[in-house]
Structure 1
């Protein structure tokens, strides 16, 4: 902590490298096929999330507080994958592992902000389901457009502030030895460990971030569904309970897809090969944004009806022409 305290002084000189080297996967044969696979995932993600955003924008029936959160999730997924995948492909598929210090910091900011917002957005959707099922008579009052916009804006501000604090601490580190980042992107944990001065504040941030953006959101979501289950068991018949619970299937699927791989990776961090860890983390970063729109289209009745209506309108226009 002595460095952190003294870093506020004006005469401190930080050793910042001109560039970092992102090592990626080491010793894996034909790894370029994996990057081509990531490209396919990215294309599907862009098409799917753009389609969901367009549906919500075009269909006035979908402009509800719930779908404000769904729209934001699609936007975050699109932004996150666009920030990550093209740069990863540029680095590894075209063999350009060097990335400037400033570009690396920017890369880190967008990737971590979007990953954090994915988690927080699932919290917003969980709250929406909680009020809709447990307090249906109060839903129109408690979950308004203004409330959902405010909640999502607060989540954005919180995520951006947290990541900016982490970046601010990184900029106070000196890198006098290695500049090789053993990851597929500018990983905060890998970067601060390269520092040759006191990196304890960054260590604290790396410890707090999973708590704030992984464990606490997951705990809130689990408690939400425990309470929903208690409510349904107490006041509803079996058929009514199943009908109400079906409205949660899409959200539960998103929660499992997002959190399960992360929990497995963190649990088995010390027991799996570094390459396996990197592959698992990279898939965790790109797969949920690809699957989220597919899940909402297939499992949400309102989205299905919107698709049918737009296809019908398009078909009628063709016949008229």
Structure 2
């Protein structure tokens, strides 16, 4: 069994979409446009936060992690899928498959923790405006950023350490990209512990993220309801609604994708499509929503563009 495991582990075969020959290049060019749009939007947001001093604030230091995480997610998934559509190779080395799965899961957990950190920042800013500077100190902001990335790393590393310890006796990945559920299906050992740890890690991510966001937004809502300043109330609600929309979209798609692997009657193509949407929609939606919906970022972008044009 050990020799068999070694013989099938070096190269894996991915399960592609069925695309007619005449449809490959249109889909490829559409995918390239989506990828370039995601890269452009997120790099633009990162560049503004880095080089514009008026954005050097705790809120934007935390927000900086979101486009960075989106770039990691969309780059880890889409280029390989597009390459396979054109070349028809649909093959990947096992270790690269594990690496892709690890990065994609880091991206998914990162979204949850980053949105939770952003919600907490908005809670302090809106509910405790006079104490914002003393609570969100540079040290506190660095601690929050390290905590959300560190916790995400520990949870995902533990998941993949358990996965790689199992012997492999299959080489066909039933997906267009590599993730932990697909890699587990390649094993010929017991996966009960992996499933338990996977569900536990998912529960930790969800409980931490949802708890922080529910607490923050409920307190923000209460503060807005009792506030007599209509301008401040509208600004707070506008900020919170944009974050909630992004969180709900990610949760709906992500939850369906996770549950779809637990039920055999769900179409394989539907699993693939929903799985890809997690890595396509947020990287494009996030910078647009925060860029257009955040007055300071929007005004900074307009000012930079005007200065470039006038120059």
Structure-1-length-normalised TM-score: 0.86
* Higher helix proportion (structure 1 or 2): 2
1:279 aligns with 2:269: no
- What is the Cα-based RMSD across aligned positions, in Å? 2.3
CA distance in 1, matches of 2:4, 2:224: 58
> What is residue 107 of structure 1 aligned with on the other side?
100
Contact conserved, 1:193 with 1:199, CA < 8 A, in 2?
Answer: no
1:83 aligns with 2:86: no
Q: CA deviation at 1:231?
A: 2.3
1:20 aligns with 2:22: no
Q: Which residue among 269, 294, 303 is the counterpart of 1:300? A: 294
CA distance in 2, matches of 1:130, 1:154: 18
Q: CA deviation at 1:68?
A: 0.7
Q: CA deviation at 1:39?
A: 2.3
> What is residue 290 of structure 1 aligned with on the other side?
284
> What is residue 130 of structure 1 aligned with on the other side?
123
Q: In the superposition, relative to structure 1, how do residues 259 and 57 fare at CA in structure 2: closer, same or farther (>3 Å)?
A: same
> What is residue 119 of structure 1 aligned with on the other side?
112
Q: CA deviation at 1:107?
A: 1.0
Q: Secondary structure at the match of 2:12?
A: strand
* Alignment: residue pair count: 304
CA distance in 2, matches of 1:297, 1:29: 38
Q: Which residue among 42, 59, 73 is the counterpart of 2:35? A: 42
> What is residue 242 of structure 1 aligned with on the other side?
234
Structure 2 residue runs of 5 or longer lacking an equivalent are none
Q: In the superposition, relative to structure 1, how do residues 254 and 93 fare at CA in structure 2: closer, same or farther (>3 Å)?
A: same
> What is residue 57 of structure 2 aligned with on the other side?
64
Structure-2-length-normalised TM-score: 0.89
Contact conserved, 2:11 with 2:171, CA < 8 A, in 1?
Answer: yes
CA distance in 2, matches of 1:248, 1:14: 53
CA distance in 2, matches of 1:200, 1:13: 24
CA distance in 1, matches of 2:236, 2:159: 41
Structure 1 residue runs of 5 or longer lacking an equivalent are 1-11
CA distance in 2, matches of 1:219, 1:282: 27
After the TM superposition, list the runs of 4 or more consecutive aligned residues in structure 1 that deviate by more than 6 angstroms.
none
